[in-house]
Amino acid sequence: MIDVDTATAAHYRQLVSQLQQHNHRYYVLDDPSVPDAEYDRLMHELCALEARYADLVDADSPSQRVGGMALAEFNQVAHTRPMLSLDNAFDAAELQEFGRRVNERLARRDSVAYACEPKLDGVAISLLYRHGILDRAATRGDGAVGEDITENARTIRSIPLRLQGDSVPKLLEVRGEVYMPRDGFDRFNAAAIAGGEKTFVNPRNAAAGSLRQLDPKITAARPLQMCAYGVGEIDAQWQPPTHLEMLQYLGALGFMINPHVHLAVDIDDCEQYYRDLAIQRPALPYDIDGIVYKVNDLEFQRRLGTVRRSPRWAIARKFPAEEEMTQLIAVEFQVGRTGAITPVARLQPVFVGGVTVSNATLHNADEIARLDARVGDMVIVRRAGDVIPQIAKVMVEKRPVDAVPVKFPDCCPVCHSPVEQLTGEVVARCTGGMFCSAQIKQAIKHYASRRAMDIDGLGDRLVEQLVDAKRIHSVVDLYNLDVSQLLPLERMAAKSATNLLVAIENSKQTSLAKFLFALGIREVGEGSAQILANSFGSLEALIDASPEALLEIDGIGPIVARHIGNFFSNPDALAIVSALQESGVIWPNEAVDQRAEQPLHGQTWVLTGSLQIMSRAEAKDALLGLGAKVAGSVSAKTSQLVAGPGAGSKLRKAESLDIPTMDEQQFIEFLQVQRNF
């Protein structure tokens, strides 16, 4: 054993303190204060000291977050104060009734203020601190008795091992929610699929499964977070008088506090918060399943007390469920414009995510095999926000004896051409090309869509009629239609036919970016099309571009470049492009040297949050049209951030980097100014 001198011990404590501060800023505040390389250097120095002087190692050292020895089982923990469950309000009327009861029991006629918090969809946890040091962590269990998960909790970097500040209580029990952010959940499942391992159904299951690992090293490898929402016990000289002030106090001690907490002046304001948060919900970086309303005054809470196992001073208002169980009735296979064969699950209709769902995507053959989905199975359907419903899990234990395995087709279900799957691709495709009516229909629908050539009145049903009746065989034939060809079609009157022909004629005046997007080149979306138009200025220059020239463009990778080259080297594709131009489709060519005059040329913008007046796609198009590059993350190179409701980590990072920000209204006013120049 090597003795530790005073200077070394002091230096060690300084390193521990520095790293704790860096961890707090990185994992709790999302505002890193040093580069990763500097953090790694400090951690390496700390570990070297601990390896040399074993007696130095403190329980709150950042090095202790990697996880200790695996446990044989979890020990039971009795909560000194029960972890109560909440009653639910399922609609506005029940929330109003809750408010009426609160006022009645408090004998108050004036308004009662409420603390409103997003109800994180995770796992409740109790953290006990003695003299500022984490002593024990436990699950909620049955509310009275939970499981000791201290070693696992220590690995979660947003849980402080030592409390911060000068006013640390002698005893503090903090209640919070452990959850897995959406991006971490997606990365974890992607890695599991790549490794042939089991995936989690949703972030809540992922958090629960990760927190109850007997081996803490497994928990340490999972992207978990903990957000504090209350206090069970506290022994301190001063205590905050309200719930929101208590949360602020916990934040000062080093805990993560949800940034969307809100003080409602009365029960009506609680309902407005519900509506506002429902709009922001899809843009949040984590799952929530509702809102928790708590009487803000802590003295009022004590007077209201509890009944059975629920507090009289709090209630949860649930959002529509994002997951439900239903039956897989059939699997059909659809053919896209590039020939991609997509399996679609036909379901017994079920209300989930605020809508009735009867169809869900199964993505591809690999996904069917991974799920082991069979017709007749009971399945978990997930729909979050505007995301396309998908089957998250098959309930194998409920499988009927007559369930039928799903066979991926060898031939196209529409034109019966062979189906092929190229090496390195997960998507199987019909080889029928323009002989396949399904691909023709999808190509025409895409060409006519609002974000492409914007042919108003040419809907999906009409496209299908035109192709089935052999009025059109490609997008070129749209420009040869006349009234006599349209009138025999179902629900087509003379005025409708005339309006459609006017819309087709108007579509001839477009932009190069919209035309490129409308052509349906594989992997070329609206953003890529705008980048290509900005970079080459003319269609002729793009057609003549070498693979090397394409790869020099920021935002165009090797896969996109290959698809662009394949498209413009295909004689049939070039014939269609030429025929469209001969039909009168035209756009102004943009000289390359004029692009530097675009007001946002050379700037990088980032969009975050939930835009409410205009869509994210419309905002991106507007920026691209002004010459900006639109990125998905904030960095030191970001020129401007547009932050809508629900903006979180990107906004905080932009503020830490002193990057200019504007809200949606300011952004719209900015665009109006630019358009008037």
Measured CA to CA, the distance from residue 307 to residue 142 in angstroms comes to: 16
Sequence-distant (6+) residues with CB within 8 A of 398 are 377, 378
Task: Compute the Cα dihedral for 500, 505, 509, 512 and give only its sign.
Answer: positive
Measured CA to CA, the distance from residue 189 to residue 363 in angstroms comes to: 15
Q: In this structure, are residues 394 and 372 in contact, taking their beta carbons and an 8 Å threshold?
A: yes
Measured CA to CA, the distance from residue 118 to residue 287 in angstroms comes to: 9
Measured CA to CA, the distance from residue 2 to residue 52 in angstroms comes to: 7
629 in catalytic set: no
Q: CA angle at residue 506 from 500 to 510, to 5 degrees?
A: 135
SS3 264: strand
- In 3D space, the residue among 649, 625, 648, 655 whose CA is nearest the CA of residue 640 turns out to be 655
Q: In this structure, are residues 530 and 555 in contact, taking their beta carbons and an 8 Å threshold?
A: no
Backbone angle region of 308, left / alpha / beta, with phi > 0 → left and psi within -120 to 50 → alpha: left
Instruction: State CA 673 to chain mean position distance.
Output: 32
Sequence-distant (6+) residues with CB within 8 A of 428 are 340, 341, 364, 365, 408, 419, 420, 421
Task: Give the number of other Cβ atoms within 10 Å of residue 8's Cβ.
Answer: 15
Phi, psi dihedrals of residue 62, rounded to the nearest 5°: -60, -20
- Catalogue the E-assigned strands of 218-340: 225-235, 262-264, 288-295, 306-307, 310-311, 314-318, 323-335
Q: In this structure, are residues 590 and 534 in contact, taking their beta carbons and an 8 Å threshold?
A: yes
Choose, from 119, 393, 445, 514, the residue flagged as catalytic. 119
Task: Give the number of other Cβ atoms within 10 Å of residue 105's Cβ.
Answer: 14
How far CA 362 is from CA of 192, 296, 417, in Å, comes to: 18, 46, 22
Measured CA to CA, the distance from residue 431 to residue 413 in angstroms comes to: 12
Please give the positions annotated as active site: 119
